[in-house]
Amino acid sequence: MSHPEANCVFCKIVAGTLPAARVLETGEVLAFLDIGPLAPGHTLVIPKAHYTNLPTLPDEVAAALGAVLPRVCRAVVAATGAEGLNVLSNTGAVAGQSVEHVHWHVIPRRFQDGIAWPWRPLTYADGELEAMRRRIACELSG
Ligand code: 5GP
Ligand code: ZN
């Protein structure tokens, strides 16, 4: 769905009925400061059209988002003096998505900033890596 959703806060920001600290606007994309930043300068990049999450994005909308992301990243690093960034898009409540209008978080990072994800790598049992590769490759070729 790409029409504005009446109850969507990001559609309201796009429409201008809800204020936001905008940093970049193109024909298809808007970037603005997150109101609850994990670090100062935490920026959100969204398509102006309403799509729920990354898997539902048409290629051309994804391309428009992807085209501005590096520029936003450079600006956030330059403006904040960050030593790095996390760029991520939470997809689904299970992954922490709270606003159902797709968005990329651009989060400035510094050593010792206390931001941490519980990143615990698993290992594949014998044959499981190849079986998984086949399943995903099959979906992509279908
Ligand atoms: P999610 O949890 O869906 O990955 O991220 C949603 C983000 O949107 C959160 O980091 C939250 O702080 C931010 N957010 C929610 N409502 C508003 C709002 O009205 N204005 C702005 N600027 N950010 C918002
Ligand atoms: Zn929306």
CA 42/CA 108 separation, integer angstroms:
6
Is the C-beta atom of 20 inside 6 A of ligand 1?
A: yes
Q: Is the pLDDT of residue 142 over 80?
A: no
Give residue-wise pLDDT tens across range 46-100.
Answer: 999 999 999 999 999 999 999 999 999 999 999 999 999 999 999 999 999 999 9
Give residue-wise pLDDT tens across range 106-120.
Answer: 999 999 999 998 899
Q: Over the range 31-50, which residues count as b (16 or more CB within 10 Å of their CB) and which as e?
A: bbbbeeeebebbbbbbbbbb
Q: Which ligand is nearest to the CA of 37?
A: 1
> Is 105 a known active-site residue?
no
Q: Using CA atoms of 124, 128, 130, 136 in order, give the dihedral in degrees to the nearest 10.
A: -100
Is the C-beta atom of 97 inside 6 A of ligand 1?
A: yes
Q: Is the pLDDT of residue 131 over 60?
A: yes
Average pLDDT of the segment spanning 7-18: 97
**pLDDT band per the 50, 70, 90 thresholds, residue 1:** low
Q: Is the pLDDT of residue 28 over 90?
A: yes
**Residue ranges of domains in the chain, CATH in brackets:** 9-141 (3.30.428.10)
Average pLDDT of the segment spanning 32-54: 98
- From residue 114, alpha-carbon distances to 76, 95, 109, 110, 123 in Å are 19, 20, 9, 9, 27
CA 16/CA 87 separation, integer angstroms:
25
Pocket test for ligand 1, best of 99, 106, 115, 117 (most atoms within 8 A of CB): 99
Q: State the distance between the two ends of the chain, measured CA to CA, in whole angstroms.
A: 23
